[in-house]
Amino acid sequence: MKISNDQEFKAALSNLSATQQRQLGARYSERVSGSLDNPRLAAVLKTALAPDSSEQELKDAYKVAKSIATKTYTACGRDADWGLQAEHFAAAACAAALTPADQAGENFNAAWKAAIQARMANNCLMIESDSGEVENEADRQYRLTEAFLAE
């Protein structure tokens, strides 16, 4: 399956189970979180990516990701610590991927929400690095999703 736009991307994600959405959402988060120096976030990702994580471990990881996202939320909108804002969005992507079923709405798509938050984190990292290079995070996510679906 070739994904070339967000409509196709979202359709592909909507066909995934909750476990697959968590794992794929965590992969989107992992790509942007690798640029950050937060051991708590790294531990959350490890739990989210592990296929054998227990429900309790996943709930605990969600709480940690949510607490990081909440703590760093106040940095958003300030004149700007882009690294801290990137950390906020990366943590929000992890939290989205780990959202427990009892807290997700009927139409909630964890992978989609994680993807959008990861894109925001990537934008902040690009601004912080002042590299001038345009990195298409959406395209990377399409390729990652295609590879995941081919597994």
What pLDDT digit, counting tens, does each position of 84-129 carry?
888 899 999 999 999 998 888 788 899 999 999 999 999 888 888 7
User: How far is Cα 20 from Cα 27, in angstroms, rounded to an integer?
Assistant: 11
8 Å CB contact between 134 and 114:
no
pLDDT reported for residue 17: 92
- How confident is the model over 17-29, as a mean pLDDT? 93
What's the pLDDT score for residue 130?
A: 78
What does the alpha-carbon distance between residue 12 and residue 148 come to, in Å, rounded to a whole number?
11
**Cβ distance 114 to 89 under 8 Å?**
no
* Residue 82: predicted pLDDT: 81
Identify the pLDDT of residue 103. Answer: 85
Q: What sign for the dihedral angle of Cα 29, 34, 38, 44? A: positive
Q: How confident is the model at residue 71 (pLDDT cuts 50, 70, 90)?
A: confident
The separation between the first and the last C-alpha atoms of the chain, rounded to the nearest angstrom, is 12
Q: Could you tell me which of 36, 100, 92 has the C-alpha nearest to residue 68?
A: 92
